[in-house]
């Protein structure tokens, strides 16, 4: 099954040492980035047929990103480099616990989505499943396009995966971010979120209670990641996977990796729910390997 990943592609400029603040960083190293782009790359590495809908600027950085996507086997039928638009760049610093902080420059994310919007109906028709995140819900036009594609998929009985990937600092009103993310829940085949996102979306601090609340809200399956404690899967199938020991260097992209491995397992089985239970153990292990190195991919 061909899977459509809808979202941003950008350059992560990462400081390769822990710092307390951006002003303490003395050098940055370029890495491939963007939540949905990361999902597309890792899913392709695990055998999924994926299309990335989005784009970047028609500049040197955009060409660099496109070359890497092509080399990874990601489909680019609905990916474009937009003339006159700079490729977005994120300056990433990591604290001593490996937690990243992002400062994003450039409006290329919004411009790319607006540029390909007229073609996304064809993308939804051609693909059998959708992966989306909240990053394309920030801007009003992006949100309209994203929700239209989501509605088309659900209307035609195609599975939708939602990874909220809530970056509240990108929102003028963080409460609005949570409200819009909740509007995406009904009909989801899979919601994948971390412990904090599960609490925000459900109002429940306990992961088990949060999972129950999210399922009651119309989600068929939910995976809640618990950091070093692993992850739980609840819904049509159930699984509890313990964490894998890891020396955390950089947590950038760990959640993207976990989502991608699940996408790959599902795509190979025409989204058979039991594939989630099988894939979750591998997904947790791959996420642990991700945090032990710099960069998401």
- And the tokens for 52? 């990335």
Q: Secondary structure of the chain: what % helix, strand, coil (to 5)? A: 45, 25, 35
pLDDT at 90 over 80: yes
**What whole-number distance in Å separates Cα of residue 83 and Cα of residue 219?**
39
DSSP character at residue 86: P
**What whole-number distance in Å separates Cα of residue 186 and Cα of residue 54?**
24
**Is residue 277 in some structural domain?**
yes
**Is residue 193 in some structural domain?**
yes
**Is residue 101 in some structural domain?**
no
pLDDT at 56: 93
Number of domains within the chain: 1
pLDDT at 108: 56
pLDDT tens-digit readout, 8-22:
899 999 999 999 989
pLDDT tens-digit readout, 201-210:
999 999 999 9
**Is residue 16 in some structural domain?**
no
pLDDT at 189: 98
pLDDT tens-digit readout, 33-68:
999 999 999 999 999 999 999 999 999 999 999 999
Long-range contact pairs involving 237-240 (C-beta distance under 8 Å, separation at least 24): 237/273, 237/274, 237/276, 237/277, 238/277, 239/276, 239/277, 239/280, 239/281
C-alpha distance from residue 234 to each of 102, 118, 188, 211 (Å): 31, 37, 13, 7
**Is residue 92 in some structural domain?**
no
pLDDT at 173 over 90: no
**Is residue 264 in some structural domain?**
yes
pLDDT at 18: 94
pLDDT-based confidence at residue 102 (cuts at 50, 70, 90):
confident
Q: What are the backbone dihedrals phi and psi of residue 81, each rounded to the nearest 5 degrees, phi first?
A: -95, 120
pLDDT at 233 over 60: yes
**What whole-number distance in Å separates Cα of residue 70 and Cα of residue 52?**
11
- And the tokens for 201? 């979306």
Q: Are 119 and 112 in contact (CB under 8 A)?
A: no
Residue range 277-286: average pLDDT?
Answer: 96
> pTM for the full model?
0.94
C-alpha distance from residue 9 to each of 13, 78, 206, 266 (Å): 13, 13, 33, 23
The chain-wide mean pLDDT, for the chain, equals 93
pLDDT-based confidence at residue 107 (cuts at 50, 70, 90):
low
pLDDT at 122 over 70: yes
230: β partners? none
Residues ≥6 apart with Cβ < 8 Å to 55: 9, 62, 79, 80, 81, 82, 108, 111, 112, 113, 115, 116
pLDDT tens-digit readout, 180-190:
999 999 999 99
Residue range 155-163: average pLDDT?
Answer: 97
Check which CATH number belongs to the domain holding 244 and give it. Answer: 3.40.1190.20
**Is residue 96 in some structural domain?**
no
**What whole-number distance in Å separates Cα of residue 124 and Cα of residue 222?**
23
**Is residue 47 in some structural domain?**
yes
Q: Which residues span the domain enclosing 72? A: 2-8+34-79+119-291
pLDDT at 58: 94
């Amino acid at each position: 099954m061909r899977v459509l990943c809808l979202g941003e592609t950008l350059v992560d400029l990462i400081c390769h040492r822990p710092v307390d603040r951006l002003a303490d960083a003395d050098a940055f190293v370029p890495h491939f980035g963007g939540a949905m782009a990361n999902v597309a790359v890792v899913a392709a590495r695990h055998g999924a047929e994926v299309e990335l809908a989005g784009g970047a600027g028609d500049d040197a950085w955009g060409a660099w990103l496109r070359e890497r996507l092509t080399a990874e086997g990601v489909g680019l039928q609905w990916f474009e480099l937009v003339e006159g638009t700079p490729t977005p760049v994120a300056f990433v610093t990591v604290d001593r616990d490996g937690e990243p902080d992002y400062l994003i420059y450039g409006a290329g994310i919004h411009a790319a989505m607006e540029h390909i919007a007229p073609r996304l109906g064809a993308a939804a028709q051609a693909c059998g499943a959708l992966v989306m995140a909240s990053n394309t819900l920030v801007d009003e036009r992006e949100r309209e396009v994203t929700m239209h594609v989501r509605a088309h998929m659900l209307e035609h009985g195609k599975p939708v995966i939602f990874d909220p990937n809530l970056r509240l600092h990108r929102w003028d009103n963080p409460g609005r971010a949570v409200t819009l993310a909740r509007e995406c829940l009904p009909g989801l085949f899979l919601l994948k979120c971390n412990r904090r996102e599960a609490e925000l979306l459900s109002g429940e601090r306990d992961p088990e209670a949060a999972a129950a609340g999210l399922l009651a809200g119309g989600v068929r399956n939910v995976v809640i990641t618990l950091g070093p404690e692993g992850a739980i899967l609840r819904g049509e199938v159930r699984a509890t996977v313990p964490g894998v020991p890891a020396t955390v260097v950089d947590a950038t992209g760990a959640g993207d990796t976990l989502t991608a491995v699940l996408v790959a397992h599902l795509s190979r089985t025409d989204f058979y729910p039991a594939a989630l239970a099988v894939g979750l153990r591998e997904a947790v292990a791959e996420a642990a390997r991700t945090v032990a190195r710099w960069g998401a991919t």
